[in-house]
Chain A
């Protein structure tokens, strides 16, 4: 065996070891989900007697699902989560793209400079600092809590700074000024220029912002729990928390509820994982 053959062999062994390590770590990463998955098809008694068995002593059962779905009012909370996430994401994208356009193109206007600086500075404020005043102003003074619309607008308000920052970067680097000048000569107003020329060119950033914010809205617990106090308005995280509080002893139902809470986003991930990974990376690196 000559030296280069030996080196190639060593490299191959290294490669195999790396793959084995990766597979083991991957199994560790998904082990909690697998545990939920194997226990969701067991009866309560079987889970209590042996949570590690692949199939329970009393066999395979689907009974946990309909029960859990009825008790957590699954379709209703799913619809709430979907409507809130969708509306807040769309509003965030529209409002922050518009704001960033006027800020980038008129950076010397005082109002633009102040707004942008305030938005950047606000990104370091943790939600804990705002939650008490938020509740006391909008609950105590204006009485507009317990409404999906309030929650949608609050979600949007919390995410416009970050989104504006990302659109700001995109317009700055990717949209040539000449394009807008051409539109102006052709008789477009600024409003038309933005919607017909600039906004369509921002698609990649729209996708990034949509992915990051939709995931954040879908999974958020603290803000919705402070805003939505009525059962018929609950989102999935709140419903899960309430469900656990009430039925934590019926572990079969808990397993089904947890799986139901995770399923929508996991199914979505199956189809969109390429875009989600790319979007999250773009967002994190720019942020």
Chain B
């Protein structure tokens, strides 16, 4: 048969994978390579010429105080958000797998924030922080109360809070799958051997759910690190640019200040930091995996 000829293989490959290959290359491969090239040019976004500048963009990225301040802020924000998202998600998952009435209803309910995009969520919460919380605070304190969003640390706190609220329901679903993957017989065996329920949880269930933890922490790190839309709608970087996270800084550098070369270099550095943290986490997490 003609199944081993090069032309048969090429035809088959292009017939099935052609459309995916073309689109994938157009929006990911080509821009990625072209982006690497852009970091070595100083392009203003308008002119035809893209003068070659060597490593100047990387040097100015390393010297960009606001960039590193934004990265530092993103690290703080991500640390708090990732820990809280996973703690809340795990507790919710525990509650909705414990066999209480209506647990499917609660699972579906906690997932609701994920249905709605970050832009809309950010504005909803902006209303809550600026109006509802202020009204509540004034009713309790009987005086004027400033909005949480009006102070730098308050704004960062609000971003963490909204992210936890937004992602906890999603991560909960992964932990629920993890809980259901641990068979009851193992827990029962541990209890017969004299474990209390909380000991069984710490020594049997949680170690067996390691994959869920690795997945959830990885997903929440990679999402928090490049969060943009909630940042834009909730705080817009204010007050006084004190809540500009890394992704927003990169966006502004390129599209607002038209410094495409440096913006692209900063985006690449952000990607490398994010990838190193994410991969290290997965590597460390998988190393200690146990099997039942």
Chain A contact residues, CB within 8 Å of chain B: 15, 18-19, 21-22, 25-26, 29-33, 35-36, 39, 47, 50-52, 91, 94-96, 98-99, 101-103, 106, 109, 111-112, 115, 118-119, 122, 124-137, 140, 153-154, 156-158, 160-161, 164, 190-191, 194, 215, 218-222, 226, 236-237, 240-241, 244, 251, 254-255, 258, 261-262, 265-266, 269, 273-274, 276-277, 280-281, 284-285
Please, which residue of chain A has its CB at the minimum distance from the CB of B115?
Answer: A265
Which positions 217-239 of chain B face chain A at CB distance < 8 Å? 219, 222, 225-226, 228-229, 232-233
Chain B contact residues, CB within 8 Å of chain A: 9-10, 12-13, 15-17, 19-21, 23-24, 26-32, 34-35, 38, 43, 45, 92, 95-96, 98, 100-102, 106-120, 123-125, 127-128, 131-132, 135-136, 139, 165, 169-170, 173-174, 176-177, 215, 219, 222, 225-226, 228-229, 232-233, 247, 250-251, 254-255, 260, 263-264, 267-268, 270-271, 274-275, 278-279
- If A29-B165, A33-B124 touch, whether A140 touches B17 (CB-CB below 8 Å) is no
Q: How far is the CA of A157 from the CA of B255 in the complex (A)?
A: 23
Q: Determine how close the nearest CB of chain A comes to the CB of B25; give it in whole angstroms.
A: 8
Is the Cβ of A132 less than 8 Å from the Cβ of B267? yes
Please, which residue of chain A has its CB at the minimum distance from the CB of B168?
Answer: A29
Please, which residue of chain B has its CB at the minimum distance from the CB of A281?
Answer: B173
Q: How far is the CA of A136 from the CA of B135 in the complex (A)?
A: 46
Is the Cβ of A254 less than 8 Å from the Cβ of B165? no
Is the Cβ of A32 less than 8 Å from the Cβ of B30? no
Is the Cβ of A52 less than 8 Å from the Cβ of B136? yes
**Chain A residues whose C-beta falls within 8 Å of the C-beta of B229 in the assembled complex:** 221-222, 237
Is the Cβ of A258 less than 8 Å from the Cβ of B124? yes
**Chain B residues whose C-beta falls within 8 Å of the C-beta of A194 in the assembled complex:** 16
Is the Cβ of A98 less than 8 Å from the Cβ of B271? no
Query: Given A133-B30, A280-B173, 15 other A-B contacts at CB below 8 A?
Result: A22-B100, A33-B124, A102-B16, A109-B13, A111-B9, A115-B21, A119-B24, A126-B225, A128-B267, A157-B26, A191-B15, A240-B120, A258-B127, A269-B115, A284-B170
Contact for A126 among B12, B15, B226, CB less than 8 A: B226
Q: Determine how close the nearest CB of chain A comes to the CB of B143; give it in whole angstroms.
A: 16
Q: How far is the CA of A88 from the CA of B17 in the complex (A)?
A: 17
Q: How far is the CA of A237 from the CA of B268 in the complex (A)?
A: 27
Task: Tally inter-chain residue pairs, CB-CB below 8 A.
Answer: 264
Q: List 7 A-B contacts (CB under 8 A).
A: A19-B102, A91-B19, A131-B267, A156-B23, A215-B115, A258-B120, A281-B176
- If A22-B96, A158-B27, A161-B28 touch, whether A32 touches B119 (CB-CB below 8 Å) is no
Q: How far is the CA of A236 from the CA of B35 in the complex (A)?
A: 29
Q: How far is the CA of A100 from the CA of B119 in the complex (A)?
A: 34
Is the Cβ of A132 less than 8 Å from the Cβ of B32? no
Q: Determine how close the nearest CB of chain A comes to the CB of B258; give it in whole angstroms.
A: 11
Is the Cβ of A102 less than 8 Å from the Cβ of B27? no
Contact for A136 among B45, B95, B131, CB less than 8 A: B45
